[in-house]
A and B are shown apart, each in its own frame.
Chain A
Amino acid sequence: MSPQELPRRAAIRREMEEISERESSDAAPCLNARKEDAMKLAPFVKFREEKFGAVLFETRSEKVYTLSPTGAAVVREVLAGANGADLLSRLKAKYEDASGRMESEAKAFVKDLKDKGLLTE
């Protein structure tokens, strides 16, 4: 590698560090799968935190689902090993929800994910 290429390589490496952190949830279901009651993203469904917000990406159909902030919070908990019973309490422990709006949004979102076959339990 020539000395002139070093800064270019370093810039790509920094970008790759950011990308790999954005794609860091891909292996999470493998570490949480042993929790038998845990909710799981369906196979080939990946979670990505992009600059414009979070998305679910179905790699076979290449469909992309843009998530609301509540949706992203739900998926993060699913990837961390949440089950149907403790998902809402985990969310409430992390986020203010005096109006109960997040709870109802989260319930509707989980139902929607299951209906679309993106989430299994």
Chain B
Amino acid sequence: MTTATSADPLDGVRSRLQSRALRVSGRVGTELAGLIAANGKLLRARFALLLGEALGVPEEAREHAACAIEWVHNASLLHDDCVDEATLRRGTPTPNAVFGRSVALLLGDLAFSQGLEEAQEISQEAANTLVSAVREMTIGELQEEFLRGSTAISKEAYLGVASRKTGALFEWVGQVLAGLSPHELKDSDPARMGLSAGILLQVVDDILDLSQNAQRLGKKPGQDIAQRQISLPLVYAFEDPSIKARFEAAWSKPGAIPETEIAQLAGLVMDSGAVKKARRTASELLASILAAARPLPRRPAASKLLAFIEAMAAREF
């Protein structure tokens, strides 16, 4: 009797992440090396692997692309947790909470360098364009940071910030994989498809921050409100002048916003229909991605990619 086994395509990515972390573990120790390679849902890696397969990119190259995007994403998470002073990530204490801000920042820098090295395994051009993508991502993060407390942002401006902050890395992976495809990609636009997927991921995160409980989310809900951070549901909610005024009053007070007030503000946003509007925008983005994926050359893999993106849009944690 033979046993059919189906290897998880992410095993290769996990193994490469660990292997690269091992290279520095002799210098920084196994615990810190493990922190830079810590991986969660690997959504970006899955996206890269499936898109690469749909484009006919050889397995090794798509794994390098998947690892590069995960390394840079991990770097940004390590830095984000410092910026947000977050104490929990994926249900476990953050490195900044355990070791302090300086260590977490340095770990983020190390993770970023690992991502660049991984991109160099693809080509020098891939590494060069990754630098541009990181520039856009960082500009998006700076814009978001300095828009904290703003109630005067349009939906378009918000989505523009998201396109840089979250979309740029996905756009990069789409561009790199398109360049590695043996097919002529006359009608498809993997870079823009990636950009749309990145924005969609951000919008879904925004919605979950308001609509999920702490257990499912792995962190406290309402963090965007607590951090005075713009999100798509909030942008929609600010169309109601009375809600906008409540937020302006809460956000202009110095110091932390009390938990009870965060819950009240979250309730106002939920009751306003803003989350429904944000879900509609997510559906529009999804429709755009589905249309862009139709001309991808390898149909069975393209179907898997679409199913994954639909699941990503519908995820609850």
Contacts and interface: CB of A to CB of B under 8 A. Distances in A.
Interface in B185-200: 189, 191-193, 195-196, 199
A102 B157 CA distance: 29
B102 interface: no
B124 interface: no
Contact of A43 (B160, B192, B254): B192
Given A20-B147, A33-B288, A34-B291, A28 B153 contact: no
A20 B157 contact: yes
Contact of B146 (A13, A32, A43, A60): A13
B132 interface: yes
A30 B285 contact: yes
A30 B192 contact: yes
6 pairs of A and B residues whose beta carbons are closest in the complex = A27-B159, A24-B156, A30-B196, A43-B191, A20-B157, A34-B291
Contact of B288 (A1, A34, A43): A34
A30 B199 contact: yes
A108 interface: no
21 contacts: A1-B254, A13-B149, A17-B150, A20-B153, A21-B153, A21-B154, A21-B156, A21-B157, A23-B160, A23-B164, A26-B160, A26-B164, A27-B195, A30-B163, A30-B167, A31-B285, A31-B288, A34-B292, A44-B171, A44-B175, A60-B129
Interface in A64-116: none
Contact of A17 (B129, B153, B254): B153
B216 interface: no
B290 interface: yes
Contact of A33 (B147, B163, B189, B254): B189
A33 B291 contact: yes
B132 A59 contact: yes
A27 B153 contact: no
Interface residues of A, number: 29
B146 A12 contact: yes
A113 B14 CA distance: 43
Interface of A: 1, 9, 12-13, 15-17, 19-21, 23-34, 36, 40, 43-44, 59-60, 120
Given A17-B150, A59-B132, 5 more contacts: A13-B149, A24-B154, A27-B195, A30-B195, A59-B136
Interface string B34-50: 00000000000000000
Given A12-B146, A60-B129, A31 B160 contact: no
B165 to A, nearest CB: 11
B84 interface: no
Interface string B161-178: 111100100010001000
A19 B192 contact: no
A25 B290 contact: no
B156 to A, nearest CB: 4
Contact of B284 (A25, A29, A31): A31
A33 B196 contact: yes
B240 to A, nearest CB: 19
Contacts of B163: 26-27, 30
Nearest to B284: A31
A25 B156 contact: yes
B160 A25 contact: yes
A23 B196 CA distance: 16
Contacts of B150: 13, 16-17
* Among A17, A24, A33, A60: residue with most chain B CB under 10 A: A33
A59 B175 CA distance: 13
Contacts of B143: 16, 19-20
A60 B164 CA distance: 14
B163 to A, nearest CB: 4
